[in-house]
Amino acid sequence: MRTNILIFSANRSATPPAKVPAVYELTINWHVTEACNYSCQYCYAKWKDYPNPRELFHDRRRTRDLLNELFRYFHPTNTNNPLREELSWKTVRLNLAGGEPSILGNRLLDIAEIAREVGFQLSIISNGSRLTRSMIKEIAPHLTCLGISLDSANPTTNMEIGRALRSGKLLDPQELAGNIRLALKINPRLTVKLNTVVNLLNVGEDLSGLVQEIRPQRWKILRMLPIVDASLAISDEEFAAFVQRHRAFQSVQCVEDNRDMCESYLMIDPFGRFFQNHPSLAGGYLYSDPILSVGAHAAFSKMAFNSASFQSRYTGELGGTQ
């Protein structure tokens, strides 16, 4: 496995090599808003109930233009995409992330419909706080994957992390489990995923009961990335002990240490730019020009990717090549 970091160049050959690793699905993460109704200490999201009016999702036409451009550029048959030199894939999934995407309410449902019309498979990652039964009924039919971020089963820990509404209201695990059952009833092919960010406040916890209740098909365990705030960072040994404590869920676990996360996601920010993380970058993130101004190809050519981590995530998450 190579460990090189690539900066894709617009001038690279358009012809992919005969043999490249193959995965079923390529995932593009669109962080539709920076606003979130939670305030996790380790997160860049702003604790706001209302998104920035300049965020692109407000404009339906620009939203459709952005999604069309992304779908065209990352379509598996687009020979002009240099990523094809590293990977081949069969379908493209748009993952709606934030901030907290569910605070968009009806606009989120509208974006979901546009994304499906454009041709994307669709998923969402949410803190669950606004995934009401009525929203689940509307959005579940569009989704192939429903991701929920859960860090702790302990109310005190959730409060300390910042996983609570301004009013102090916490997520009710029973209510969440009921809503997930409803989503599965509406869409039995839905994959349910949990994301847990392991940090100083939850590193000693046993989440087995919570995971058994939700019964996810995938459980992503991420070591907190100390880009925004290093005060909750944990050691290698602490992270390994957390993973080991939950080895009973090994078959669904997808473990990501900090080095696995760097430059290994395809991410679009709320203003329609590619962005990428790396600890050596000032401010933690590198941004491209706006995709709608320069086109996906020119914007993507400025992005660096760790191709080894990129490939191994897809291989690990999606059940292997082909």
Q: In which residue are the tokens 């406040």 written?
A: 201
Structure tokens at 12: 């690279």
- Please check whether residue 87 is in contact with residue 95, taking contact to mean a CB–CB distance below 8 angstroms: no
Q: Greatest CA separation found in the chain?
A: 57
Window 20 to 49, contacts with ligand SF4 (CB under 6 A): 36, 38-40, 43, 45
User: With CB under 6 A, what is the number of residues at the site for ligand SF4?
Assistant: 11
Q: What would the DSSP string read from start to end of 76-127?
A: TT-TT-GGGGT-EEEEEEEEEESS-GGGGTHHHHHHHHHHHHHT-EEEEEE-
Does 111 contact ligand SF4 by CB under 6 A? no
Q: By CB under 6 A, which span of 52-60, 98-106, 115-123, 177-185 interacts with ligand SF4?
A: 98-106
**Spatial CB neighbours of 140, under 8 Å, sequence gap ≥ 6:** 146, 182, 183, 186, 187, 190
Pairwise CA distance, residues 322 & 319, whole Å: 9
Q: By CB under 6 A, which span of 17-25, 96-104, 219-227, 297-305 interacts with ligand SF4?
A: 96-104
Q: By CB under 6 A, which span of 75-83, 94-102, 274-282, 283-291 interacts with ligand SF4?
A: 94-102
Nearer to ligand SF4, 112 or 197 (CB): 197
Pairwise CA distance, residues 299 & 10, whole Å: 9
Q: By CB under 6 A, which span of 97-105, 152-160, 174-182, 228-236 interacts with ligand SF4?
A: 97-105
Q: How far is the CB of 319 from ligand SF4 (least distance, A)?
A: 26
Q: Give bridge partners of residue 26 from the DSSP assignment.
A: 92
Window 141 to 160, contacts with ligand SF4 (CB under 6 A): 149
DSSP conformation class of 17? P
Q: How far is the CB of 284 from ligand SF4 (least distance, A)?
A: 14
Nearer to ligand SF4, 83 or 222 (CB): 222
Among 51, 98, 101, 270, binds ligand SF4 (CB under 6 A): 98
Nearer to ligand SF4, 222 or 299 (CB): 222
Among 127, 253, 264, 306, binds ligand SF4 (CB under 6 A): 127
